[in-house]
C-alpha cells in the first residue's frame, strides 16, 4: 500500500494558473516512484502482462475511444458495436450458442454484482422469492459477499475439500432452501487456481430449477484457449447444461487494459433482469444495462484491440510461457523443504504454505530481496499461505526466484519464529470482553499501524490479522482505509 514518497508535497489546492503540460506529466510520473515495479517480473500479483507490443496497441485503442461514451447508444453506435463484438467473441470462446448475450462491465466485481442482482430479480419475478439466498462455496471471490451486502441477498456459505480446494457439492445440495436463487462455482478460484466441479454444480442447479453462475473472471478466457490447445480440463462453460451465466475478465488473463470484464447469460430471458431503466425523473429517461451509466469507450476499444491484435495464436504463446513457468514454480516450491503448494492448481496462479515457518515472515524476507508476494489468510480448512499470480514476463526469472526462495526460507528459519498459535492466544487474551470497535483499536497498536502508516515489515500485521475473527478483521481494515483516504 504505497503512500506518496516523502519528498513530494501533496497538491491539494487548485492552482491559480494552470501548470505546463511538461510539469503536469513530470509530476505525475514522480507519483509512481513508490509503486511496485510490475514490469520487472518480480511482482507475483496484481497485474497481467500482455507483452510490450500488445500493451502499446491496446493503449492506443483505449485512447482513441477515451471520450466516446456508452451512456447513449444512439449517440455512439461505435461503442455498442465494440461491446457487442467483444462479448460475442468471449461467448464463443465459452462455447455459448446464438442465444447467449451479455455486456461489458468495469471488472470482475461489477460482473459478479450484476450476476447476483439479476438472479435476485429473476427469482422474485419468476418464483416469487422475496428473501433471496445464494449458495457460495467458501473459495469464491469476496465480490460475491459484496453483492450480497449491496443487494440484500443472504450468502449461504459451504465448505471446500481441504485437500483439493474444490467446492463440496454435497454441502451445496444440503444448503439449498426454498429461498435459494442461484448456485456459484469458480473456474477457477483466485486463491488456489482450482476449478470447481462445475458439471455437478450445474446439474444440481437444474435439478432444483435454479440459476448457476460460473466465476471465470481469472480463468474464463485462459481455460477456453487452453482447451482449444488440447489440454484436458473439466467442462466449466455453456457446454455444461445448468450453467446460466459466466463472468470473464478482459483485464486479467484477457490481457486488456483496465477496467474491462464481460458477463454473459444463457439467454435474453435471464439477462433482461440485469437491465435498469428509469423514466420517473424530470431528466432524461435512463436505461443502463450495467451499473455505471456514463462509461468510457476506452475499455471496450482496448479489449477489442487486444483480442484482435493477439489472436488465438498470440494467446496460445502467452499461455504456453505462463504455464511452463507455473509448472517449474510448483515443482520447485514443492521441492523446498518446509514448503508445499495447496491443492492441484490448473491455472497459472496458485498458493503455497508451510507447517514449519511463518509464511508472512517469508514474504517480508522476499520483499527485502526484491520480490513482491501476496498474503492470504487461513480459514478453518486451510493454513495461512502465499499467493502467486504468474505472468509470461516471469518465465525467465523462475530459477532466480526459486534460488532466492531457498535462501529466504533459510533466513526465516534463522529468525525468531512469529508463531501463529502464540499470536492467536495473545490476540484472544487482548480481545476478551471487548466490542468490535475497541478490539480493532487495540489490534492496530499491536500490529504496528499508526493512522494510515504501515510498518515496514508486514509479518506481525499479517499474523495478527490472520489470528482475529472475521468481523474484527473487517472492522480493522475499514478503519485503516478510512484513514488512508483522508
Ligand atoms: C476469481 C475472481 N473473481 C472476481 C474477481 C474480482 O475482479 P476485479 O478485481 O476485476 O473486480 C477476482 C479478482 O482477482 C477474481 O480473482
CA 26 to ligand 1 center in whole angstroms: 32
Same domain, 431 and 295: no
Q: Residue 247 phi/psi, 5° resolution? A: -105, 140
CA 141 to ligand 1 center in whole angstroms: 6
Q: For residue 462, what pLDDT is reported?
A: 93
**Nearest C-alpha to atom 6 of ligand 1 is from which residue?**
108
3-class secondary structure for 316-351?
HHHHHHHHHHHHHHHHHHHCCCCCEECCCCCCCEEE
Q: For residue 5, what pLDDT is reported?
A: 54
CA 270 to ligand 1 center in whole angstroms: 23
**Nearest C-alpha to atom 13 of ligand 1 is from which residue?**
108
- Tens-digit pLDDT profile for residues 265-294: 999 999 999 999 999 999 999 999 999 999
| Closest atom of ligand 1 relative to the 216 alpha carbon | 1
The answer to whether the CB of 200 is under 6 A from ligand 1 is no
How far, in whole angstroms, is CA 422 from its chain's centroid? 31
Q: Please report the beta strands in 225-285, taking only residues with DSSP state E, as ranges in sequence order.
A: 245-249, 261-265, 276-278
**Choice from 44, 214, 252 to test ligand 1 binding pocket (greatest atom count within 8 A of CB):** 252
What's the domain count of the chain?
2
Torsion region of 51: left, alpha or beta (phi above 0 gives left; psi -120 to 50 gives alpha)? left
Q: For residue 37, what pLDDT is reported?
A: 87
CA 446 to ligand 1 center in whole angstroms: 31
Spell out the alpha helix ranges (H) of 448-469: 459-467
Same domain, 295 and 434: no
CA 24 to ligand 1 center in whole angstroms: 32
The answer to whether the CB of 215 is under 6 A from ligand 1 is yes
| Closest atom of ligand 1 relative to the 190 alpha carbon | 16
Examine residue 37 and state whether it is found in any structural domain, yes or no: no
| Residue found by looking up cell 461491446 in the block | 83
**CB burial of residue 221 (10 Å; 0-12, 13-18, 19+):** buried
**Nearest C-alpha to atom 9 of ligand 1 is from which residue?**
108
| Structural domain ending residue among the three candidates 270, 305, 340 | 305
Same domain, 69 and 192: yes
Examine residue 99 and state whether it is found in any structural domain, yes or no: yes
| Structural domain ending residue among the three candidates 263, 281, 305 | 305
Selection from 191, 183, 259, 174 nearest residue 214 by Cα: 183
DSSP 246: E
Query: Are 330 and 90 contacting, i.e. CB atoms less than 8 angstroms apart?
Result: no
| Closest atom of ligand 1 relative to the 188 alpha carbon | 1
Question: What is the rounded distance in angstroms from the CA atom of residue 79 to the CA atom of residue 73?
Answer: 7
Examine residue 198 and state whether it is found in any structural domain, yes or no: yes
Same domain, 94 and 232: yes
The answer to whether the CB of 398 is under 6 A from ligand 1 is no
Selection from 142, 101, 96, 98 nearest residue 118 by Cα: 101
CA 438 to ligand 1 center in whole angstroms: 32
**Choice from 47, 188, 190 to test ligand 1 binding pocket (greatest atom count within 8 A of CB):** 190
The answer to whether the CB of 42 is under 6 A from ligand 1 is no
| Closest atom of ligand 1 relative to the 249 alpha carbon | 10
The answer to whether the CB of 217 is under 6 A from ligand 1 is yes
| Closest atom of ligand 1 relative to the 259 alpha carbon | 10
User: Which residue segment(s) compose the domain that 279 sits in?
Assistant: 63-305
**CB burial of residue 311 (10 Å; 0-12, 13-18, 19+):** exposed
The low-confidence residues of the chain, meaning pLDDT below 70, are 1-8
Examine residue 312 and state whether it is found in any structural domain, yes or no: no
**CB burial of residue 268 (10 Å; 0-12, 13-18, 19+):** exposed
DSSP 71: S
Examine residue 461 and state whether it is found in any structural domain, yes or no: yes
Q: What's the maximum distance between 2 C-alpha atoms anywhere in the chain? A: 69
Query: Are 120 and 264 contacting, i.e. CB atoms less than 8 angstroms apart?
Result: no
CA 146 to ligand 1 center in whole angstroms: 12
Rg (CA), the chain: 23
| Closest atom of ligand 1 relative to the 112 alpha carbon | 4
Edge to edge, the sheet with strand 133-137 lists 101-105, 261-265, 245-249, 211-215, 180-186, 133-137, 154-158
The answer to whether the CB of 109 is under 6 A from ligand 1 is yes
Examine residue 42 and state whether it is found in any structural domain, yes or no: no
Same domain, 300 and 431: no
Q: For residue 2, what pLDDT is reported?
A: 41
Same domain, 280 and 145: yes
The contacts of residue 307 (CB under 8 Å, 6+ apart) are: 86, 89, 250, 254, 256
pTM of the model: 0.95
The answer to whether the CB of 218 is under 6 A from ligand 1 is yes
Q: Strand 385-389 vs strand 349-353: parallel, antiparallel, or unpaired?
A: antiparallel
Question: What is the rounded distance in angstroms from the CA atom of residue 430 to the CA atom of residue 447?
Answer: 12
Same domain, 135 and 277: yes
| Structural domain ending residue among the three candidates 252, 279, 305 | 305
* 3-state SS class at 369: coil
Question: What is the rounded distance in angstroms from the CA atom of residue 397 to the CA atom of residue 126?
Answer: 53
Question: What is the rounded distance in angstroms from the CA atom of residue 298 to the CA atom of residue 63?
Answer: 6
Residue 300, all three cell numbers: 471496450
Q: Which residues pair with 246 in a beta bridge?
A: 214, 264
Same domain, 301 and 424: no
Question: What is the rounded distance in angstroms from the CA atom of residue 60 to the CA atom of residue 420?
Answer: 48
**CB burial of residue 390 (10 Å; 0-12, 13-18, 19+):** buried
The answer to whether the CB of 249 is under 6 A from ligand 1 is yes
**Nearest C-alpha to atom 8 of ligand 1 is from which residue?**
108
DSSP 455: P
Q: Which residues pair with 261 in a beta bridge?
A: 105, 249
The answer to whether the CB of 427 is under 6 A from ligand 1 is no
The answer to whether the CB of 141 is under 6 A from ligand 1 is yes
How would you label 140-167 residue by residue, b for 16+ Cβ within 10 Å and e otherwise? Answer: bbebbbebbeebebebbebbbbeeebbb
Examine residue 116 and state whether it is found in any structural domain, yes or no: yes
Question: What is the rounded distance in angstroms from the CA atom of residue 237 to the CA atom of residue 243?
Answer: 7
**Nearest C-alpha to atom 5 of ligand 1 is from which residue?**
108
| Closest atom of ligand 1 relative to the 258 alpha carbon | 10
* 3-state SS class at 442: helix
Angle at 143 between CA 96 and CA 325, to 5 degrees: 70
Q: At what angle do helices 52-64 and 298-334 cross, to 10 degrees?
A: 150
Indicate which CATH number applies to the domain containing 99.
3.40.640.10
Residue 67, all three cell numbers: 471520450
Examine residue 313 and state whether it is found in any structural domain, yes or no: no
Amino acid at each position: 500500500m504505497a503512500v506518496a514518497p516523502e519528498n513530494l508535497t501533496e497538491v491539494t489546492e487548485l492552482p491559480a494558473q494552470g501548470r505546463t503540460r511538461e510539469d503536469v506529466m513530470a509530476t505525475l510520473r514522480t507519483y509512481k516512484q513508490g509503486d511496485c515495479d510490475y514490469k520487472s517480473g518480480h511482482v507475483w500479483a496484481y497485474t497481467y502482462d500482455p507483452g510490450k507490443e500488445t500493451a502499446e496497441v491496446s493503449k492506443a485503442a483505449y485512447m482513441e475511444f477515451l471520450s466516446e461514451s456508452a451512456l447513449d447508444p444512439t449517440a455512439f453506435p461505435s461503442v455498442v458495436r465494440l461491446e457487442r463484438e467483444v462479448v460475442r467473441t468471449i461467448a464463443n470462446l465459452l462455447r455459448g450458442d446464438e442465444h447467449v448475450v451479455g455486456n461489458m462491465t468495469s471488472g470482475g466485481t461489477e460482473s459478479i454484482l450484476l450476476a447476483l442482482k439479476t438472479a435476485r430479480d429473476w427469482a422474485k419475478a419468476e418464483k416469487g422469492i422475496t428473501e433471496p439466498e445464494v449458495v457460495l462455496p467458501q473459495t469464491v471471490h469476496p465480490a460475491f459477499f459484496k453483492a450480497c451486502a449491496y443487494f440484500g441477498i443472504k450468502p449461504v456459505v459451504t465448505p471446500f475439500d481441504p485437500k483439493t480446494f474444490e467446492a463440496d457439492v454435497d454441502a451445496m445440495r444440503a444448503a439449498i432452501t426454498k429461498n435459494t436463487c442461484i448456485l456459484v462455482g469458480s473456474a477457477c478460484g483466485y486463491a488456489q487456481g482450482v476449478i470447481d466441479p462445475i458439471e455437478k454444480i450445474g446439474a444440481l442447479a437444474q435439478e432444483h430449477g435454479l440459476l448457476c453462475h460460473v466465476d471465470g473472471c481469472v480463468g474464463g478466457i485462459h481455460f477456453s484457449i487452453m482447451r482449444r490447445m488440447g489440454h484436458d480440463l473439466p467442462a466449466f462453460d455453456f457446454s455444461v447444461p445448468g450453467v446460466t451465466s459466466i463472468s470473464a475478465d478482459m483485464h486479467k488473463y484477457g490481457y486488456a487494459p483496465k477496467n474491462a470484464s464481460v458477463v454473459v447469460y444463457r439467454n435474453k430471458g435471464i439477462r433482461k433482469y440485469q437491465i435498469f431503466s428509469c423514466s420517473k425523473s424530470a431528466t432524461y429517461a435512463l436505461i443502463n444495462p450495467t451499473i455505471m451509466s456514463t462509461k468510457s469507450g476506452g475499455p471496450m476499444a482496448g479489449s477489442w484491440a487486444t483480442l484482435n491484435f493477439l489472436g488465438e495464436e498470440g494467446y496460445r504463446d502467452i499461455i504456453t510461457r505462463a504455464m511452463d513457468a507455473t509448472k517449474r514454480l510448483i515443482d520447485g516450491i514443492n521441492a523446498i523443504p518446509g514448503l508445499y503448494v495447496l491443492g492441484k492448481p490448473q491455472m497459472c496462479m496458485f498458493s503455497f504454505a508451510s507447517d514449519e515457518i511463518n509464511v508472512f515472515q517469508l514474504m517480508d524476507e522476499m520483499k527485502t530481496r526484491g520480490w513482491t508476494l501476496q498474503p492470504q489468510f487461513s480459514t478453518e480448512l486451510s493454513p495461512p499461505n502465499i499467493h502467486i499470480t504468474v505472468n509470461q514476463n516471469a518465465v525467465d526469472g523462475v530459477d532466480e526466484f526459486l534460488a532466492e526462495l531457498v535462501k529466504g526460507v533459510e533466513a526465516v528459519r534463522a529468525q525468531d519464529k512469529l508463531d501463529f498459535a502464540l499470536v492467536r492466544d495473545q490476540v484472544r487474551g487482548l480481545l476478551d470482553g471487548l466490542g468490535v470497535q475497541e478490539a480493532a483499536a487495540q489490534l492496530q497498536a499491536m500490529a504496528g499501524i499508526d493512522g494510515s502508516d504501515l510498518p515496514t515489515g508486514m509479518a506481525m500485521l499479517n499474523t495478527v490479522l490472520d489470528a482475529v475473527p472475521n468481523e474484527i478483521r473487517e472492522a480493522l481494515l475499514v478503519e485503516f482505509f478510512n484513514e488512508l483516504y483522508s
